[in-house]
């Protein structure tokens, strides 16, 4: 489980042939082999540890459901370690099992940050609610406006500084995960 509170930004250092895996520069000092880390919201297992870097393998399912297959060398990714039962739940409960890739359809400046609108796939609409939670690129966000499958999210300055969302543009595909509680309540 994850909370959607990004702990660190990493950079893609190396991509494996066929995109079956990749290495990310990361500053986590005490990571263990086999640990789960959310990379842009996708729960991945640490398969290699190098000084200043972590390696991950990508399953065919992850390549199908997420944007991980389109990562490029040098790209910034959001990183979050798995939730401990003793941790504060600063965001919302997330599994790291990305539901699909959405698409950014609008990005505009606001008085205190930006507003980003993301088009979610129609099959996820039943899990979306005004003031409900969603994860975009592994970032816990609150739905500020909802029109069909178009979700508008407020990005405060801290979120823009601490995640890769400031670098996203209209047309970009992003990993989306609906709120786990909404899924099970439904």
Tokens linked to 53: 């870097």
Q: Please check whether residue 11 is in contact with residue 25, taking contact to mean a CB–CB distance below 8 angstroms.
A: yes
Question: What letters, b where the CB count within 10 A reaches 16 and e where it falls short, cover 70-108?
Answer: ebeeebbbbbbbebeeeeeeebbebebebbbbbebbebe
Enumerate residue ranges in the chain where pLDDT < 70: 17-19, 110
Residue 181 confidence (pLDDT): 86
Angle at alpha carbon of residue 104, lines to 113 and 8, rounded to 5°? 60
pTM: 0.92
Q: Where in the chain is the domain with CATH 2.40.30.20?
A: 8-81, 100-185
Backbone angles phi, psi at 18, to 5 degrees: 75, 10
Top CATH class, 100-185: mainly beta
> Burial of 64 by CB count in 10 Å (0-12 exposed, 13-18 middle, 19+ buried)?
exposed
Closest CA to 151 of 175, 125, 100, 117: 117
Closest CA to 36 of 86, 90, 97: 97
- Identify whether the C-beta of residue 177 lies closer than 8 Å to the C-beta of residue 99: yes
Q: What is the CATH number of domain 8-81?
A: 2.40.30.20
Instruction: Identify the DSSP state of 83.
Output: P
């Amino acid at each position: 489980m994850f909370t959607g509170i990004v702990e660190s930004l990493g950079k893609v250092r190396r991509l494996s042939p066929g995109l079956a895996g990749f290495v990310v520069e990361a500053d986590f000092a005490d990571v263990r082999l086999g640990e789960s880390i959310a990379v842009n919201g996708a729960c991945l297992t640490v398969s290699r540890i190098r000084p200043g870097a972590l390696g991950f393998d990508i399953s065919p399912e992850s390549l199908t459901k997420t944007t991980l297959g389109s990562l490029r060398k040098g790209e910034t990714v959001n990183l979050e370690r798995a939730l401990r039962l003793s941790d504060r739940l600063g965001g919302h409960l997330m599994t790291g099992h990305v539901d699909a890739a959405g698409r950014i359809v609008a990005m505009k400046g606001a008085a205190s940050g930006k507003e980003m609108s993301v088009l979610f796939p129609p099959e996820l609409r039943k899990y979306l609610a005004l003031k409900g939670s969603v994860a975009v690129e592994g970032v816990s966000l609150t739905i500020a406006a909802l029109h069909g499958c178009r979700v508008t999210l407020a990005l405060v300055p801290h979120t823009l500084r601490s995640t890769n969302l400031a670098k996203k543009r209209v047309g970009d595909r992003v990993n989306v995960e609906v709120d786990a509680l909404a899924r099970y309540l439904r």
